[in-house]
Structure 1
Amino acid sequence: MEGIVTRRVIPSDNSCLFNAVGYVVDHDKTKASELRQVIAATVASDPEKYSEAFLGKPNEEYCAWIQDSEKWGGAIELSILADYYGREIAAYDIQTGRCDLYGQEKRYSERVMLIYDGLHYDALVISPFEGAPEEFDQTIFEVRKDRTIGPIEGVALNFVKEQQGKRKYTDTAKFTLRCGVCQIGVVGQKVISS
């Protein structure tokens, strides 16, 4: 393996998942609108598979919802995008150190990598050296016969563990906030009794 694992920061605009996927597949951080439409069309085309039970809301409502640039994506969207691009998508979670692999059951021959901090997705790439320009990033990796991407997989996992050790994640169950207007405190999504 030549180079180092690098986290390419994607803007925090509620479309980070889509733009991170756009970057690792097409070197384009502005794919959100297009990819949201792809997801809506895929979901609309198969209301039996993408039922209310699966989506958590009626199919038609979900299709409108996912096209709203304020809405976040997650596992459903990553699964659809893996199939759309015909590549596995590895999503590394910093807090847990877990890697969720989308599209693996299809045995695609290539894989891309994302990193998730509890609230935000960034692209995970191999850069030839520290500080190298993005145009030199390797973002697509061949899946070997053993269904891994070779040494890159271990290096990526070590990078995620380093990020975990530096607490580069948001624990959405335990973070605390206080409203600057009403002074009500919250932990995660629960109000703290005052």
Structure 2
Amino acid sequence: MDGVIVRRVIPSDNSCLFNAVGFVMEHDQRKAPELRQVIAVAVASDPVKYNEAFLGKPNSDYCAWILNPEKWGGAIELSILSEYYGREIAAYDIQTTRCDLYGQSKGYGERVMLLYDGLHYDALAMSPSDNAPVDFDQTVFTVNSDGTIGPVEGLVLNLVKDAQRKRRFTDTANFTLRCGVCQIGFVGSKEAVQHAQATGHINFQEYN
């Protein structure tokens, strides 16, 4: 196994999850509108599974919401995209070094990997070297009979632990944010979300 695990930074435009998935699945960072549509169709087609209790909002409201390019994706969207592509999606959380694996019980033979910093998703790839062009990236890995992707997992965990040690994550429970519209300060994402719902303001900056 020759190469290094690299973090491919995805633009911060509220669609990072979808564009990161597009990159690892198809080497295309502009898949967000299409993948949002895929999710909306999947959710609308199964209102029993995707009910209000599961989604946190009525099925039709969720479908309209996820098509809005300002809205972020998370666990629900990753599970649907794993099924859509027929591949496992491993999402590594820098703060906890935990790996959330989507699609693992489906018997898929391949896996892709993402890196999550508390607010943002980037893509993980195997590259021949640190400075090799993106075109040489390997982003799809074979799942072995033991349910792992072999030595690659250890390399990924080393990268995640290194990012954690350098505190390259956002502690969303305790970080401080300021509304870019009215300059009010908040502690933690919960307060900011409540403010956004009350005012419609979605432009937040982190500050110390």
The two structures share one fold, judged by TM-score above 0.5: yes
**Which deviates more from structure 2 when the two are superposed, residues 154-163 or residues 175-184?**
175-184
Q: Paired residue for 1:116?
A: 116
**Matched residue type, 1:153:** E
Query: Residue by residue, what CA displacement relative to the aligned partner does 1:3-35 show, whole Å, maximum 9, x if unpaired?
Result: 001000001000000000000000000000000
Q: Distance in 1 between matches of 2:182 and 2:82?
A: 44
Runs of 4+ in 1 over 2 A off after TM superposition: 177-186
**Structure 1 segments unaligned to the other structure (5+ residues):** none
- Which residue does 2:195 correspond to in 1? none
How far residue 2 of structure 1 moved from its aligned partner, in angstroms, is 1.2
Q: Which amino acid aligns with 1:50?
A: Y
In structure 2, distance between residues paired with 1:59 and 1:102: 22
- Partner in structure 2 of residue 128 of structure 1: 128
Q: Which runs of 5+ in 2 are unaligned?
A: 193-208
Correspondence for 2:42: 42
In the aligned structure 1, how far is the partner of 2:53 from the partner of 2:86? Answer: 26
Q: CA deviation at 1:132?
A: 0.5
Instruction: Report Cα offsets for 1:21-53 as digits up to 9, x if no partner.
Output: 000000000000000000000000000000000
How is 1:1-194 mapped onto 2 (pairs within 5 angstroms)? 1-178=1-178, 184-188=184-188, 189-190=190-191
In the alignment, the residues of structure 2 paired with residue 53 and residue 178 of structure 1 have an alpha-carbon distance, to the nearest angstrom, of: 31
Letter in 2 for 1:54: F
Tell me the TM-score normalised to structure 1 length: 0.95
CA RMSD between the two structures: 1.5
Query: Which secondary structure does the structure 2 equivalent of 1:22 belong to?
Result: helix
Name the TM-score, length of structure 2 as normaliser.
Answer: 0.88
Aligned-pair CA distance for 1:117: 0.3
CA distance 1:183–1:120, change in 2 (3 Å)? closer
Query: 1:52–1:3: structure 2 CA closer, same or farther, 3 Å change rule?
Result: same
What letter is aligned with 2:108? Y
CA 1:181/1:11 → structure 2, altered by over 3 Å: closer, same or farther? closer
- Size of the aligned set, in residue pairs, is 191
State the Cα distance separating 1:186 from its structure 2 match.
2.2
Aligned pair in 2 of structure 1 residues 178, 70: CA closer, same or farther (>3 Å)? Answer: closer
